Chain A
Amino acid sequence: MKRSRLQFVVIGALLLLLVPALAACGSGGNSSSGPKVKVGLVTDTGGLNDKGFNHLAYVGLQNAMHDFSNVVGSVKESKSDADYIPNLQGFASQGYNLVIAVGFLMAQAVATVAKQYPNVHFAIIDSTPSDANGNSLTLPNVEPLLFHEQEAGALVGVIAGMLEKGGTTKLKKNTISAVGGVSIPPVDKYIAGYKWAAQMEDPGVNVLVGYSQDFSDPTKCKAVANSQIGLGSDIVFQVAGGCGLGALQAADTAGVYSIGVDTDQKADAQNVIASAVKRVEVATYLAIKDVVNGHFQGANEPAFTLQNGGVGFAPGNITLSSDITAEVTKVENAIKAGTLTPPTQRSW
């Protein structure tokens, strides 16, 4: 019976350890002024820890909860696209004031649920709601949060084109590349601006574009990036969320430059020269603020641009020469002023 007694001792010890944990729970529940504004956030399949737009949307929600004491936020993560509709309905059916869908791929699900709950406000990042045939819809209770990704893509494209023209890059084949996740507008707009600006600075530059068909598995983007580097790409622009971290690693391994996306990614790889930034957290915050203040815009919500600070670029780990930074500033001002307009459509 020795062993049994030992087991009891171990279990008893474990239980004792758990008592403080028990006591620790059950706190919380701070009172707030004003009517509660319940905000539900539904992530796409990337989940909260994607280091990309799901994470940024969550940051926006947290910032709003910090600034407005009456905002109560909740999150549901989607494991597959089968969860989009139940998760959106889950919040709407409980009388949430605002339900935020993170991502282009939820366009149809948002339209379906928004029509079922006309009194609930919805916001969707990167898309307008769309019907069963894929046509975009204008619904009074849905606020599309759209970004001019091509403007951010153009700024990093200027850097890439200037570096190629300067001939200071490693492989000297006058080639740069982009690794996309899946060919959807928010991805293609980044690449369209990147390609356009690089060729504006260096008309002879060859721009390779590949898709990993994935947004979460780094090994797939690493494979695409490696094949591009094998073809002579000196600068790899990742446009594939969590998958694209693999492209940044591939560039580090090969000793070529890389460009991050959506958020400042200079901490994720050594050779990141810049990141094309999309401020999803600002858009999410503003959508919540609109509902709190009773100024919900619906379909009239303006897009987030370079002009209003919704997109931009963040410097990386390599110090750029003054003529490159001057050129970036020049193009930035021209885009803001409307004298330069980067394309939004695929041309590859």
Chain B
Amino acid sequence: MAAPQAPTKPAKPGETSMPVIWAKQLGRLIGAPIGSVIFAFIIGAIIVLITGGDPIQAYQGLFCGGIGLFCTGDLYSSITPALEISSTIVFATPLIFTGLAVALPFRAGLFNIGAQGQLTMGAIAAAAVGIHYASWPGFILLPAVLIVGTLAGAAWGGIVGVLKAFTGAHEVVTTIMLNYIAAFFLYYLLRGGPMQLAGQPEISANVGAGAQLPHFLNGNGQLFGQPIGVYQAHTGILIAFAVAVLFYILLKRTALGYEIRAVGQNQRAARYAGISVKRTLIITMLIAGAFAGLAGGVEIAGLSHQLTIRYATDSTGFDAIAVALLGANAAIGIILAAFLFAALRVAGPVMQGNANVSQNLVDIIQAVILFSIAANFLRTFKIRLPALRQTPPGEDAPMVATTVTELEDTEPSEPAEVGDTA
């Protein structure tokens, strides 16, 4: 394994010019996510081949159905690219919110699996307000719907933070349990319960017209050969971008953000430095819950305009974990990852409908992305392949990194210990 060393010795940090450092940091930051996506697509292609499909047709379908590219040939020329792009924006919106709701606790060393339940509660509260006060004018009702959704999500997340801070109850357990409570509460409401539309299980009445976020495209005419009403992309995506900016500012430019990162890296050191760990954990979960709750509110206001069981059965809150990991817990990364996952979600049915390749391929690709990020394959490749290696590994370099948190320097070195907070 004695690979020839580069002729010049590695420069000391002080001697390297800043652009080179930045480039290296960038490479380290995006290398693993991009590598894992490419790896997942290769695995997906092999599976399509084995099961007797044509991977080129399948991937053409994913590109066409997701982002409107390569919609050509017998199979895909009937697809309207603008409609697919619109649908991708629709599905990306909640993934950005919930991705941020998973990423923020990650920075504090908490694993928030509860974005799903927080979204559910946000949607329930938002729909309840939007239906009950349907006659209110939009300039009051729309903010009320979004704020109530946000608060409901924050409360649901806050429970987790309080339990963690005062009893040490592990957030993975409490968030999963709260997901179930939220889901069954929704089932109760919509299957014979008080919010069910008469004779129509699993859906509620519509929220008032004032509670609806405007679509980007409005009118009764035709656009790109389709009625304008089919373009469902709504202005909720702008709120998602704004929350992503807020997330960035919070983490990088505020004292609270510093405290969150400090708690995430080492709770004992943070406490020694005078940071209240309990307070930080609770606030982190409140904010995370607020992000996910707002996702529910925006979905009610922008897309469904009614409560449906999708707010418990859809996998948005769980896909968000993959989005946060793929996005390296950074705002811009989460936005990009959310669009990737949304594009795959939208493209799956296109691929199945037009090329007859099962849309379960999309699930496989998403799972392999998550799996390879979790297992940190790139690091493995670096260790195995001398050409990629910059520094010699230790004698017993691990084949597979043990935690996902090694992705980034600012990541917590280990999960927060329950005993530390008690």
Does the CB pair A76–B352 fall under 8 Å? yes
Q: Which residue of A lies closest to B90 (CB)?
A: A86
Q: How far is the CA of A121 from the CA of B313 in the complex (A)?
A: 29
In the complex, which residues of chain B have a beta carbon less than 8 angstroms from the beta carbon of A80? Answer: 309-310, 313-315
Q: Specify which of A4, A14, A45 is in contact with B313 (CB 8 Å cutoff).
A: A45
Q: Counting CB contacts under 8 A, is B202 at the interface?
A: yes
Does the CB pair A91–B310 fall under 8 Å? no
Q: Specify which of A24, A25, A77, A116 is in contact with B359 (CB 8 Å cutoff).
A: A77
- Number of A interface residues in the complex (CB < 8 A): 45
In the complex, which residues of chain A have a beta carbon less than 8 angstroms from the beta carbon of B353? Answer: 40, 74-76, 90-91
Interface string of A201-212 (1 = CB under 8 A from B): 000000000010
Q: Counting CB contacts under 8 A, is B229 at the interface?
A: yes
Q: How far is the CA of A134 from the CA of B229 in the complex (A)?
A: 21
Q: Counting CB contacts under 8 A, is B197 at the interface?
A: yes
Residues in B193-223 with C-beta less than 8 Å from chain A: 197-203, 205-206
Does the CB pair B349–A117 fall under 8 Å? no
CB distance from A224 to the nearest CB of B (A): 14
Q: Which residue of B lies closest to A92 (CB)?
A: B230
Does the CB pair A116–B191 fall under 8 Å? no
Q: Counting CB contacts under 8 A, is A54 at the interface?
A: no
Q: How far is the CA of A211 from the CA of B187 in the complex (A)?
A: 12
In the complex, which residues of chain A have a beta carbon less than 8 angstroms from the beta carbon of B20? Answer: none
- Number of B interface residues in the complex (CB < 8 A): 49
Does the CB pair B230–A116 fall under 8 Å? yes
Q: How far is the CA of A117 from the CA of B225 in the complex (A)?
A: 11
Does the CB pair A93–B83 fall under 8 Å? yes
Does the CB pair B205–A132 fall under 8 Å? yes
Q: Counting CB contacts under 8 A, is B53 at the interface?
A: yes
Q: How far is the CA of A90 from the CA of B306 in the complex (A)?
A: 22
Q: Counting CB contacts under 8 A, is A10 at the interface?
A: no
Known contacts A86-B87, A116-B229; is-contact A81 B52 (Cβ 8 Å) = no
Residues in A52-110 with C-beta less than 8 Å from chain B: 74-77, 79-83, 85-87, 89-91, 93-95, 105, 107-108
Does the CB pair A81–B308 fall under 8 Å? yes
Q: How far is the CA of A83 from the CA of B359 in the complex (A)?
A: 13
Best-buried of A22, A86, A87 by chain B (most CB within 10 Å):
A86
| Chain A interface residues toward B at CB < 8 A | 1, 4, 14, 18, 21-22, 24-26, 40, 45, 74-77, 79-83, 85-87, 89-91, 93-95, 105, 107-108, 113, 116-117, 130, 132-134, 182-185, 211, 213
Nearest 9 A/B pairs, CB to CB:
A94-B78, A76-B349, A80-B314, A134-B200, A74-B353, A25-B54, A82-B310, A134-B197, A81-B310
11 further A-B contacts with Cβ under 8 Å, apart from A21-B50, A82-B308, are: A1-B1, A22-B49, A25-B49, A74-B353, A81-B202, A81-B203, A87-B349, A90-B350, A93-B79, A108-B200, A213-B191
